[in-house]
Amino acid sequence: MKTILIIEDDITFGMMLQTWLSKKGYTVYSVSTISRAKEEIREHSPALLLSDLRLPDGDSLNLLKWMNETEEVIPLIIITGYADIQTAV
C-alpha cells in the first residue's frame, strides 16, 4: 500500500486530508514540523509528501533542500493558504 506523509501544522486541515486519503486506500502519516517530517521520511520512506509551505520550524523549501542534500527521491507537493504569487512561481 502506498504511504503519504502530510506535513501540516493546522491540525484540523491535516486530519481532513488524512481522513480523505485513508478512505482512498492510502496509509497516511501526519506531522506538524519539518524536524518530525525528516524523522518520518527516514523511518517510513513514504511514496509522497504533502507539505504546508510555512511551518513552525521553517518552510517546506528548506525540507526540499534537505531532501536534495540527502538524496531522498520522494515527490513533494507544497500547499499553502497564503496568496503569494512570488513564492508560488
DSSP class per residue in 23-41: HTT-EEEEESSHHHHHHHH
Predicted local confidence at residue 81, as pLDDT = 76
**What pLDDT digit, counting tens, does each position of 24-58 carry?**
999 999 999 999 999 999 998 999 999 999 999 98
State the pLDDT confidence band at 80, using cuts at 50, 70 and 90: confident
pTM score of the predicted model: 0.88
Q: How far apart are CA 11 and CA 73, in angstroms?
A: 27
Percentage of the chain lying above the pLDDT 70 cut:
90
- Residue, of 69 and 87, whose pLDDT is higher: 69
